Amino acid sequence: MADQLTFFVACAVMGAFAAGVYGERWRAKSARARWRARQPKLTETQRRWREARGASATHDQTTDERRAPEAVSATDQLRLVMDANFTKRPLLSKSEARVFHAAEKALRDQQLAWRVMAQVSLGEILSSPDPKAYSAVNSKRVDLLLVSGVGDPIAAIEYQGAGHFQGTAPARDAVKKEALRKAGIGYIEMAKGHYPADLAREISRLAAHGPH
């Protein structure tokens, strides 16, 4: 009798456990279904884009780095753009804009045939035979770039705001500085508390050793 009671208790415990497991699975499945129902429907182009990204993410890897998602045709890209909304945003912050105008004034005052470019990608002004090293800097940008009259890079100008030196910012700056140094391109840092005269002095120093 005692053995039968123990058996029935064990069965009841196992049944309750199984019911709890399946109940949790059902609740999780229902929650996922409700979440999907709340998501906006994808257009055909967006669905194809997502499928292309998913196929790429699960593709066998033959290199150290994950392959890029499969390219979507220009027609699909146009549909994506037509379905989306865009708004303009400033190219420079107010502080960066002040540095930009100070740099332009310094060039005029010193009668230099240089130009100031804004938000320049390092991938456009640097090259390297090492693809991994190039990849490390390709998408990084500098706030401003001084170029000669024929477009040769002379020096990068970076504005460092009050909260700039936080997190990984110093490491990212070090990457840019080293790549620019190796390419023979100058680097000027402007921070809060620096004045236009400070920038003009740095530009004058560069002009004494560089192209006019």
Q: What is the CATH number of the domain that holds 111?
A: 3.40.1350
Residue 62 falls inside a structural domain: no
- Strand, coil or helix: 141: strand
From residue 128, alpha-carbon distances to 110, 122, 174, 180 in Å are 33, 11, 17, 12
> H-helix or E-strand containing 115?
strand 115-121
pLDDT tens sequence across 117-164:
999 999 999 999 999 999 999 999 999 999 999 999 999 999 988 665
Q: Are residues 74 and 111 in the same domain?
A: no
- Average pLDDT across the chain, whole number: 80
pLDDT tens sequence across 174-196:
999 999 999 999 999 999 889 99
Residue 61 falls inside a structural domain: no
According to the model, what pLDDT value does residue 93 have? Answer: 93
Confidence of residue 29 (pLDDT cuts 50, 70, 90): low
Q: Are residues 15 and 79 in the same domain?
A: yes
Is residue 103 scored above 70 in pLDDT?
Answer: yes
Percentage of the chain lying above the pLDDT 90 cut: 56
Segment 44-52 mean pLDDT? 63
Q: What is residue 69's DSSP assignment?
A: P
Q: Are residues 71 and 100 in the same domain?
A: no
Rounded Cα distance, 193 and 7, in Å: 81
Q: Are residues 72 and 131 in the same domain?
A: no
Q: Are residues 73 and 120 in the same domain?
A: no
Q: Are residues 75 and 132 in the same domain?
A: no
Selected residue with higher pLDDT from 115 and 59: 115
According to the model, what pLDDT value does residue 7 have? Answer: 55
Residue 88 falls inside a structural domain: no
> H-helix or E-strand containing 143?
strand 141-147
Confidence of residue 169 (pLDDT cuts 50, 70, 90): confident
Q: Are residues 75 and 133 in the same domain?
A: no
* Residue 155 belongs to domain spanning: 94-209
pTM over 0.85: no
Residue 200: closest CA among 176, 10, 208 = 208
Give me the number of domains the chain comprises. Answer: 2
According to the model, what pLDDT value does residue 51 have? Answer: 64
Cβ–Cβ < 8 Å for 99, 159: yes
Selected residue with higher pLDDT from 191 and 31: 191
Q: Are residues 103 and 72 in the same domain?
A: no
- Number of neighbours of residue 26 by Cβ within 10 angstroms: 10
